[in-house]
Amino acid sequence: MALKRQHNMMAAFSMASMTDVIFLLLIFFMVTSTYIFPTALEVNLPQSSQQTTKKPSIRIAIDAEGNLSTAVGDAERQPMDPAELKTWLMLVKENATEEEPTVALYADETVAYGEIVKILNVGAEVDIPIVLATKPIRDKQ
């Protein structure tokens, strides 16, 4: 009498198709991420080799100790409390003879960047554009 053999079928899950899908997704994201430019990280610092011909009508200066001084036109710089800067800029803007006064910020290279940004924000609140003043690059010969 012949005995029937029982074939036990083992259930197996093939990972080959799953790894193919994962690999294709990995390639897709790698390729598409090269086309996305992180604009928040791009920093374009101003070049100081070009100088403007227009002389600033308003000057704000910060020395290495963080002392603030201001001047209008060719007048001598006067010490200023940072809390009074917004009020002073509004008064200068109201009394300005030109349509859009030019404000230059002269900051010592050791001044913290946060202090410079605070002054730029005050200018933005008053709606006066403030530019950073730089010195020209000297040729090393």
Count of residues for the chain? Answer: 141
Could you give the strand order of the β-sheet that contains 68-72, starting from the edge strand earlier in sequence? 78-80, 68-72, 58-62, 103-107, 130-132
User: What's the number of domains the chain is made of?
Assistant: 1
Range of the domain at 106: 58-132
- Distance CA(59)–CA(76), nearest Å, equals 10
Question: Which tops the pLDDT comparison, 24 or 108?
Answer: 24
pLDDT digits (tens, 9 = 90+) for 27-65: 998 888 766 544 443 434 444 555 555 666 788 888 888
Q: Which amino acid is at 70?
A: T
Are residues 116 and 107 in contact, defined by beta-carbon separation less than 8 angstroms? yes
Whether 92 is in a domain gets the answer yes
C-alpha–C-alpha distance, residues 88 and 7, integer Å:
94
Angstrom distance (rounded) from CA 128 to CA 138: 31
Is 2 part of a structural domain of the chain?
A: no
| Token pair recorded at residue 52 | 């403007």
Q: pTM of the entire structure?
A: 0.57
Report the distance separating Cα 67 and Cα 106, nearest Å: 12
Residue 121 is part of a domain; what is its CATH number?
3.30.420.270
